[in-house]
């Protein structure tokens, strides 16, 4: 769920953002949250709505620190477990590959056939290992994306800065 939102942002975003800048960070988080949290300004006050219901800053902060955090951890765990399942299957498949034994008694034809089978098995193992490495890189990237998003605005003060930046964004976008 969260990974999809992060990837969607990456695809749709046309701005160069440096998340060390407060407003850039606010743009990033605001766009990722747009389907969960709606920010608006009414009578010069920031209005926060979740699922159509107005909530307080404290309720939003609780959601950010507890609910969202738990959802991100759960998503990371799913990615990690899925990769480990794949790793176990590939490891088992590699271990089940049986190469024929070359004997001095084998005919040339039989030796050539066995050598072809051994080469084919090595190719299969190499492809499986390459696939595993690709999946490891992909799952590591996904977990790191979620971990980075999870660690944004870790304190009350940093979250206050975020909402103040969102307010500035909204005021200047209208």
pLDDT of residue 102: 74
When pLDDT is averaged across residues 74-89 and rounded to a whole number, the result is 97
**CA angle (84, 152, 69) in 5-degree steps:** 55
Q: What is the pLDDT of residue 174?
A: 59
Which tens digits make up the pLDDT trace of 55-64?
999 999 999 9
Mean pLDDT across the stretch 23-51? 94
DSSP 67: I
Query: Taking every pair of C-alpha atoms in the chain, what is the biggest distance, in angstroms?
Result: 93
């Amino acid at each position: 769920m969260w990974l999809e939102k992060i990837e969607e942002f990456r695809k749709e975003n046309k701005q160069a953002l440096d998340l060390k800048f407060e407003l850039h960070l606010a743009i990033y988080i605001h766009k990722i949250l747009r389907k969960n949290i709606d920010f608006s300004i009414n009578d010069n006050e920031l209005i926060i709505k979740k699922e159509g219901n107005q909530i307080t800053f404290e309720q939003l902060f609780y959601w950010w620190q507890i609910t969202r955090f738990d959802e991100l951890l759960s998503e990371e765990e799913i990615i990690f477990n899925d990769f480990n399942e794949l790793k176990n299957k590939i490891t088992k498949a590699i271990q089940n590959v049986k190469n024929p034994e070359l004997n001095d008694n084998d005919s040339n034809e039989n030796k050539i056939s066995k050598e072809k089978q051994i080469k084919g098995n090595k190719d299969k193992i190499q492809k499986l290992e390459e696939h595993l490495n690709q999946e490891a890189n992909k799952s590591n990237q996904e977990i790191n994306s979620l971990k980075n998003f999870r660690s944004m605005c870790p304190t009350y003060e940093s979250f206050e800065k975020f909402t103040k930046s969102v307010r500035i964004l909204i005021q200047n976008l209208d």
